[in-house]
């Protein structure tokens, strides 16, 4: 039992350091059936029996992607029964509902999986959901973020714990290598399913795992260890800086009527690292979507604040927000709301691309064969939506919103007001009039880009051809 004992020790140590659990906690354990998650359930069970009273719930998601999915679900059910742990199963037909949220298959699977795990935790009154991500996953995550261009928060990789909807997502294995987990299962004779998660892996991560990391290992055989250390150091330093930025915010930023102001002299006295953090924090508080606030934007605000001349300027931050300098005061606020724009455009196949010049966007439509659709990479975000080509009534109409607009959303009986969806999603009122609505030939709203997809013409197993709609920013030369 030596191997089991060592891993239990290592997990207990990490749990104490990062306060992952307390005695008598209820923990939902996400178990796919692969070696990592089987090891997680076995180790947590061992801890609950011999080291600390914990109540475990085993949760498994069957995504319906593959023929073996049903066997895997059965395998995990038996494992939970053997350990005397309650078992919860969710079955999603991801291929046929892949389009509800405008994400590709892997993205939809991930979103549904987390939704189910958190909902299960709520039902059992569990404090946390335990996930089996390990040291190799962490090294890949850090490398992917490094390649994408990331600040220290990103280089910290996946967190030991973070809170989502009042449930903590915990990762007790972040310092343990995959080989140790597979080794445990083999030494102890723990059965596991061949790792299905590899098939759900994003294309990009597979490239990092099979091409980029092995190449780097030729130059430094311990590169995974280095990436792991980087994530530990970056994580701790990021938390320290975050706390300092929050303190500066308390002391230096004045808030009234949704406007944030800052005195130039007190800002200039901060080290540049804190200046950037403080700007980022203000933008976070100001906007529901801070992902658009990239380094160049933050730098423009910072340099503009420090420069001697000019002493008055206005910088458009995008997303309906501006930063203004008025002599020695820097002010962040939302733009005065623009008058309601109004437009209507038809979109049909002979002319599958249309300029929405009122809002500076382009809407494009293309037909994909079924195979091409499933080969689509997931990372296209929420600015695309797929529809069943035979089910969607053409021509489409793209128009500005009208009072009383409603949309039929998947998973809801009946319709929901578009306005209520905007409120639920915390979309600022200044931006709402800039979001177009896509209606089918019968007048139903079928898609609100970046927000929701309706239940009409969903792509399913029977779909022969797929219509891909996507919205993007207008090129400069298209604006004229």
pLDDT > 90 in the chain, percent: 55
* Residue 128 DSSP symbol: E
Q: According to the annotation, is 48 in a ligand binding site? A: no
- Angle (CA) 439-443-444 rounded to 5° is 65
298-317 per-position pLDDT tens digit: 999 999 999 988 888 889 88
Residue 100 in tokens: 């509800």
Tell me which CATH code domain 2-231 carries.
3.40.50.620
| d(C-alpha 209, C-alpha 199), whole Å | 13
339-389 per-position pLDDT tens digit: 567 889 998 887 788 999 888 899 999 888 766 666 554 444 578 888 998
Q: What is the pLDDT of residue 265?
A: 95
Cβ neighbours around 148 below 10 Å, total: 9
**Model's pTM, two decimal places?**
0.67
> Domain 257-334: which CATH class?
alpha beta
Q: What is the pLDDT of residue 98?
A: 56
Work out whether strand 406-407 and strand 416-417 pair parallel, antiparallel, or are unpaired: antiparallel
81-98 per-position pLDDT tens digit: 999 999 999 887 665 655
Domain with CATH 3.50.40.10 in the chain: 344-479
116-163 per-position pLDDT tens digit: 999 999 999 999 999 999 999 999 999 999 998 888 889 999 999 999
Sheet holding 344-347, edge to edge: 344-347, 396-399, 437-439, 445-448, 452-453
Alpha carbon of 291 to those of 83, 272, 314, 319: distances in Å?
43, 21, 21, 10
| 175 neighbors 12 (Cβ within 8 angstroms) | no
Question: Pick the residue with more confidence: 395 or 258?
Answer: 395
Q: Could you give the maximum distance between any two Cα atoms of the chain, in Å?
A: 73
Under DSSP, is residue 320 helix (H, G, I), strand (E, B) or coil? coil
| d(C-alpha 287, C-alpha 335), whole Å | 12
| d(C-alpha 5, C-alpha 10), whole Å | 9
Cβ neighbours around 294 below 10 Å, total: 12
Q: What is the pLDDT of residue 446?
A: 94
Question: Pick the residue with more confidence: 133 or 326?
Answer: 133
Q: According to the annotation, is 266 in a ligand binding site? A: no
Q: What is the pLDDT of residue 379?
A: 41
| 311 neighbors 327 (Cβ within 8 angstroms) | yes
Q: Is the pLDDT of residue 171 over 80?
A: yes
Sheet holding 361-369, edge to edge: 353-356, 361-369, 465-473, 384-388
Q: What is the DSSP secondary-structure string of 132-184? A: ---HHHHHHHHHHHHHH---HHHHT-S-SEEEETTEEEE-TTTTS-HHHHHHH
Question: Pick the residue with more confidence: 298 or 464?
Answer: 298
330 φ/ψ angles, rounded to the nearest 5 degrees: -110, 130
Q: What is the pLDDT of residue 29?
A: 98
Those residues with Cβ within 8 angstroms of residue 459's Cβ, 6 or more apart along the chain or in another chain: 95, 96, 98, 99, 373, 386, 387, 388, 466
Q: According to the annotation, is 226 in a ligand binding site? A: no
197-228 burial code (b ≥16 CB/10 A, e <16): eeebbbebbeebbeebbeebeeeeeebbeebb
Q: According to the annotation, is 36 in a ligand binding site? A: yes
Confidence of residue 7 (pLDDT cuts 50, 70, 90): very high
Q: What is the DSSP secondary-structure string of 384-409? A: EEEEETTTSPSSEEEE---TT-EE-B
Q: Is the pLDDT of residue 420 over 50?
A: yes
Yes or no: domain 344-479 corresponds to CATH 3.40.50.980: no
Lowest average pLDDT, out of 198-212, 309-323, 380-394, goes to 198-212
Q: What is the pLDDT of residue 480?
A: 45
| d(C-alpha 163, C-alpha 19), whole Å | 13
Residues 268-294, mean pLDDT to the nearest whole number: 85
Cβ neighbours around 78 below 10 Å, total: 12
Q: According to the annotation, is 450 in a ligand binding site? A: no
- CA nearest 437: which of 319, 341, 372? 341
Q: What is the pLDDT of residue 382?
A: 76
Q: What is the pLDDT of residue 422?
A: 87
Residues 107-118, mean pLDDT to the nearest whole number: 84
Domain with CATH 3.30.465.60 in the chain: 257-334
How big is the chain by its Cα radius of gyration, in Å? 25
Highest mean pLDDT among 138-147, 187-196, 204-213, 338-347: 138-147
Q: What is the pLDDT of residue 394?
A: 87
Q: According to the annotation, is 289 in a ligand binding site? A: no
Under DSSP, is residue 108 helix (H, G, I), strand (E, B) or coil? helix
Q: What is the pLDDT of residue 357?
A: 86
Q: Which residues pair with 29 in a beta bridge?
A: 58, 130
Task: Name residue, tokens 């007048």.
Answer: 443
Confidence of residue 105 (pLDDT cuts 50, 70, 90): low
Q: What is the mean pLDDT of the chain?
A: 87
């Amino acid at each position: 039992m030596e191997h089991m004992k060592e891993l239990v020790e290592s997990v207990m140590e990490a749990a104490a350091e990062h306060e992952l659990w307390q005695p008598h906690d209820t923990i939902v354990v996400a178990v796919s059936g692969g070696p990592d998650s089987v090891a997680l359930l076995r180790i947590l069970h061992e801890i609950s029996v011999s080291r600390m009273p914990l109540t475990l719930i085993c949760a498994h998601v069957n995504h319906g992607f593959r023929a073996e999915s049903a066997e895997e679900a059965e395998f995990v059910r038996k494992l939970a029964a053997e350990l005397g742990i309650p078992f919860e199963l969710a079955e999603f037909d991801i291929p046929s509902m892949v389009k509800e949220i405008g994400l590709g298959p892997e993205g939809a699977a991930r979103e549904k999986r987390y939704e189910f795990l958190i909902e299960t935790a709520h039902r059992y009154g569990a404090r946390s959901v335990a996930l089996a991500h390990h040291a190799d996953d962490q090294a890949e995550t850090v490398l992917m973020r490094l390649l994408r261009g990331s600040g220290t928060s990103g280089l910290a990789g996946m967190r030991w714990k973070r809170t989502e909807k009042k449930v903590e997502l915990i990762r007790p294995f972040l310092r343990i290598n995959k080989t140790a987990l597979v080794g445990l299962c083999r030494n102890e004779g723990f059965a596991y399913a061949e790792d299905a998660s590899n098939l759900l892996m994003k294309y990009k991560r597979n490239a990092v795992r099979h091409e980029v990391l092995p190449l780097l290992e030729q130059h430094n055989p311990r590169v995974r260890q280095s990436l792991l250390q980087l994530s530990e150091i970056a994580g701790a330093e990021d938390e320290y800086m975050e706390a300092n930025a929050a303190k500066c915010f308390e002391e230096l930023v004045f808030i009234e009527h949704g406007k944030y102001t800052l005195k130039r002299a007190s800002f200039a006295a901060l080290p540049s690292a804190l200046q950037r953090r403080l700007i980022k924090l203000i933008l976070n508080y100001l906007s529901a979507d801070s992902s658009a606030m990239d380094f160049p934007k933050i730098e423009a605000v910072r340099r503009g604040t420090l420069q001697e001349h000019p002493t008055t300027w206005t910088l458009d931050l995008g997303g309906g927000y501006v930063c203004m300098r008025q002599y020695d005061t820097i002010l962040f606020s939302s733009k005065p709301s623009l008058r309601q724009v109004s437009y209507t455009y038809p979109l049909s196949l002979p002319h599958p691309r249309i300029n929405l010049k009122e809002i500076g966007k382009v809407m494009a439509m293309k037909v994909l064969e079924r195979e091409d659709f499933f080969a689509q990479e997931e990372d296209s975000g929420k600015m695309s939506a797929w529809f069943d080509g035979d089910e969607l009534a053409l021509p489409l109409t793209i128009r500005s919103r009208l009072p009383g607009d409603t949309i039929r959303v998947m998973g809801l009986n009946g319709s929901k007001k578009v306005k209520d969806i905007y409120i639920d999603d915390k979309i600022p009122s200044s931006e709402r009039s800039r979001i177009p609505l896509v209606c089918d030939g019968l007048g139903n709203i079928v898609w609100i880009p970046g927000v929701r997809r309706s239940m009409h013409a969903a792509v399913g197993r029977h779909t022969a051809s797929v219509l891909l709609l996507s919205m993007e920013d207008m090129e400069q030369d298209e604006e004229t």
